[in-house]
Amino acid sequence: MMDFRPNFTEREKNQFARQYESLVRKLVKQTVDKGFNEWDQIESAAWEGFARAMKDYDPERSKLTFKQFAGWSIRNRILLSIDNELRTVK
C-alpha cells in the first residue's frame, strides 16, 4: 500500500490508478447497467472522481479506508456528471 502524501510522482499516480482500476470499472459498469449508456462519459467522470480522491484523501482525518473514500468520490462524480447531462438536455 502506498503512503499518502500531498505530492505523488507521475509514476506513483499511474501505479495507484492501475491498482484501483477494477474499482473504477466496477462502478462505471454498475452505472451503465442501470440504464445510462454513455460509457465513455461515465468512465471519464469516474476517473475524475478517483483523481479527486487521491488529491483529497487524508488518512489522519478520515475514518474511511482509501478504497471506501475513493468509491464515494467516484460515485459522487459520476452522479454529478449525469445530473449535469440531464440539465443540459432539459
Q: How far apart are the first and last CA of the chain?
A: 44
| pTM for the predicted model, two decimal places | 0.84
Give pLDDT tens digits for 4-61.
555 678 888 889 899 999 999 999 999 999 887 788 999 999 999 999 999 888 888 8
Give the model confidence (pLDDT) of 58-73 as tens digits.
888 889 999 999 999 9
Q: What's the grid cell of residue 60? A: 489522519
Q: Give the number of residues written for the chain.
A: 90
